[in-house]
Structure 1
Amino acid sequence: MTPLTTETTPRAAGGALARQRRRTALLGAAATALLVTLTAIGLGTGEVSIPPLDALRGLVGLGDPGNVMLVQELRAPRVLSAVAAGAGLAVAGAILQRVARNPLASPDVVGVTGGASLAAVAVIASGAPAALISPAALGGGLLAAVLLGLLAWRGGFTVSRLVLVGLAVQSGLAAAVNLLIVRFPAELASSALQWTTGSVYGRTWTEVDAGGAVILAGIAAALLGHRQLSVLDLGDDSAGALGLSPGAARLRLLLLAVVLASVAAALTGPVGFVALAVPHIVRFLAGPATAGTLVLTALAGAVLLLGADLAVLHLLPVHGLPVGVLTATLGAPWLLVLMLRHMKPNAGSATR
């Protein structure tokens, strides 16, 4: 009996891995089809309706010149901003949760998007050129991450310390944002206030090109570094035995997550829920983390944020509602459920 068990165990493991790959591929194909459909809807709906196929053709400069102008100049920047920011936030959340070994870790919970928001609002409220918003958001996110690291790792790292310090940092940064808004001229403060609610309204091709390129490069870097994530999942001792420096690898991955989240925040403002929830949804549907599930996470984040933006545009009765309001409404109960699960006695030791 023993030789038979030893022989079939690798086969069973290989079969389970093959089934997960097939499931991930099917989910990825479904997410891609849904994303294309939502993109066509976003490009084609409005005061002037365009058939979905004509809208997609207009995106690449084909078809009626009027449709091309309407799609490319007015609708495409908003749609593509939601796609890029949703993908970037979701991947950033997945990286943070794995590096911190904490299901509650996400850029909007631990203060990264708060730092990006503070820096971006300072640029907007001061009347500085709009081209400085993205670099300022990136710098603000990095500074918030440094502050979080100094406070959370002081005296030893624990999951509870990370979450509590992150929430405190996020609250302090939100208060600073509000102070900036009320102290600056009304015409500038109103623009900053609209940005802080989380919105893809009024995006330009300059912002989409720059932010989208950085997010795409960041996701590619995350895929290249997925082996390091997998090794870190084994624990620091095992990672060291395999020749990986856990501290350096963790720092590189955290910086990558901060860059993704900060650039996404520069595109959309502090949109919540996406980075926190999407990695959990993907794990529930596709199983343990692999390079394929990371791609699926990016697709799911893009689908979620674009779908939420289309919902606030065309389905909800309140006109002009920012997409961040809808995602925050969905995210609050989700965060509560995760925190209650995390507080169970059998969950405490597993997430340290």
Structure 2
Amino acid sequence: MTKRTLGISLYPDHSVFERDQAYLKVAASYGFTRLFVSMLEVQDGKERVTEKYQRIIQSAHQRGFTTTLDVSPNIFDQLGVSYQDLSYFASLGADAIRLDAGFDGHQEAWLSYNSQGLNLELNMSNDVEYLSNILSYSANRPFLYGCHNFYPQRGTGLPFDFFVACSRRFKRAGIETAAFVTAPGATIGPWDINDGLPTLEMHRDWPLQVQVQHLFSTGLIDSVLIGNAYAKQEDLQKLGALNRYQITFAVTPSADIQPVERQILLDNLHERRGDINDITIRSTEVRKRYHDFNRVNDDRHTFQRGDVVIGNEQFGKYQHELQIVQQPHTDTRKNLVATINPDQLVLLDAIGPWTKFSFEVAHD
């Protein structure tokens, strides 16, 4: 299984090299390893274009990035590049080219055998037999990757169910996948319209960290790319510290949380029981590890979605069990110990049977 990666995007036709270089340096320091470079519009002559893209890709390689060039059919015409010879893109230093528009399947299969060894990234954002068609022409499967589109115009991003259907086609075929998130305050993209650059419409106004957690939690995306430039350093730092393989909920502990409750909450990797219910997410293994805790909390026993509770001495064999509340209810046998950050409540739906999760104290 492919390890999960983070990436950024650059738009050399709309940016300054020095700032791009500084952005690459900061992103690399926080563990970002993929670079998406737009080549959908070329305004300068081939010589100038070559120099500009070689320079930025070389800088990226020096910092450990693999680079994908996003190209469209008109770029081949503008630069005089043949579909049978991708040496020009290899000369720029690219590791992969992403086809913004598809061909007939046979052409993509041919391209996957290019002598330069470039990876071929396919557009994932259509729920059609595109990938199956390419594979039916005996494509060079290890050199095929998938990457969703981003959507600069508000209201045009993919709905979640459609995104899932599209992505499953690639995951079932064992193809590595990628999708985009949008950084707040970042203003540079490929076009003059930039309402953010997410793949999923629902992500457009979400906190960046939650967008990334959500994509990884689907199990359908291997690489998450920030679509717009330039993300703030603090956002890059938060993403770099993010656990890419399990959801970590940011919580505000209750004012009267006891030391042992705090240990149960924060010092354990939790797992949802396999026989799930609609009311709570139950972490039951922890009740076997803690026995020195006998407290009845008389303060609050009516719970809302996102509250984290632990069974008290009235709960018999279920004492010390941790639960995340999914539906409001009242139960005096449980103590309120923390509340999940409201921005992360959408992630509760990603906690399925046997899913692992953890908690950390929320920071301002």
TM-score w.r.t. length of structure 2: 0.23
Name whichever structure is richer in helix by fraction: 1
TM-score w.r.t. length of structure 1: 0.24
Q: Which has the higher contact order (CA 8 A, sep 6+)?
A: 1
Name whichever structure is richer in strand by fraction: 2
